Amino acid sequence: MLVVLLGPPGAGKGTQAKNICKNYKLFHFSTGDILRNEIEKNTEIGKKIKSIINAGQLVSDEIIINIVEKIVSINLKKNNGILFDGFPRNLDQANAFHELLNNIEKKIDCVLHLSIDKNEVIKRIKKRAVEENRKDDNTEVLKSRIDVYLKETSPLIELYKKEKVLKKINGMETIENVSLNINKVLDLIN
Ligand code: ADP
C-alpha cells in the first residue's frame, strides 16, 4: 500500500504518520526528518540545504527525487508499503513521483489530506517551537512555510482529487478521532 499524507505545517502529519505506520506496517518516509538528519550529520547535502530549510523554503527537486528513489527501492519490498510524509510537495515532484511509480508498475493507493484552519496552524507551531526547538518553527519562517504550502503544495489537492485517490480528513478533531477516521479510510483499501 502506498499512502501520501498531505497537509499544511502543523496539521498533525508527523503524529498521524506514526499511528498509520504502526497500524498498517508501513515504512514511515518523512522527507523533513531525512533532511534534518542530513543537517545534523553535516553531510554534503546537509550543508547545501541548511539555510533553505531554516528559511522555510523548499529544497531542490533534484535532491528530493534522489532521496525518494533510494528510499522507495530499499523499502518497497521490506514492508507492507510506504507512507510518504512531506512528499510530494509541488507539481514537479508529483510528476516525477508518478513516473517513478509507473516504472515499477505501482501507483498511489490513497492521498490523505489533513486539513486545518490557518489560526490553528499558528497556534500549534508556536507550541511545537517551545517543545521541540526546531529552527524553522518561528513566526517569520512559519509565514513563509505557509506561503510555500499554499502556493506550491495545495495545488496537489486538486490533482489527486481528479485522480480519485484523495480523502479529506478533518485535522481539527482530537488526535484519537483523526486517527480513527484515517483508519476507516485505510481499512477499505488495505
Ligand atoms: P512541515 O510539514 O511541518 O513544514 P517537514 O518536516 O515536512 O515539516 O519539512 C520541513 C522542511 O523540510 C520544509 O519546510 C522544507 O524546507 C523541507 N522539505 C521537506 N520535504 C520536502 C520536499 N518534498 N521538497 C522540498 N523540501 C522539503
Along the 190 residues of the chain, how does pLDDT read in single tens digits?
A: 999 999 999 899 999 999 999 999 999 999 999 999 999 999 999 999 999 999 999 999 999 999 999 999 999 888 899 999 999 999 999 999 999 999 999 999 999 999 999 889 888 888 888 888 888 888 888 889 999 999 999 999 999 999 999 999 999 999 999 999 999 999 999 8
What pLDDT shows up at residue 113?
Answer: 98
CA-nearest residue, atom 3 of ligand 1: 9
Do strands 2-6 and 27-30 pair parallel, antiparallel, or not at all (unpaired)? unpaired
**CA 144 to centroid of ligand 1, rounded, Å:** 12
Instruction: Please report, as a single letter, which amino acid is at residue 57.
Output: Q
Do strands 2-6 and 82-85 pair parallel, antiparallel, or not at all (unpaired)? parallel
Which residues share a beta bridge with 167? 112
What pLDDT shows up at residue 129?
Answer: 84
What pLDDT shows up at residue 135?
Answer: 81
Which cell numbers in the block locate residue 120?
A: 490553528
Ligand 1 pocket test: pick from 30, 36, 59, 84 the residue with the most ligand atoms within 8 Å of its Cβ.
59
Angle 108-186-22 (CA atoms, 0-180°, nearest 5)? 100
- Which residues lie with the beta carbon below 6 Å from any ligand 1 atom? 9, 13, 31-32, 35, 52-53, 56-59, 64, 86-87, 89, 93, 136, 145
List the alpha helices (DSSP H) in 104-154: 118-132, 139-148
Which atom of ligand 1 lies closest to the CA of 8?
2
What pLDDT shows up at residue 137?
Answer: 83
**CA 186 to centroid of ligand 1, rounded, Å:** 24
Ligand 1 pocket test: pick from 6, 35, 64, 100 the residue with the most ligand atoms within 8 Å of its Cβ.
35
CA-nearest residue, atom 9 of ligand 1: 32
CA-nearest residue, atom 10 of ligand 1: 32
What pLDDT shows up at residue 138?
Answer: 84
- Which candidate, 161, 159, 162, 179, places its Cα nearest to that of 170? 179
CB atoms within 10 A of CB 77: 6
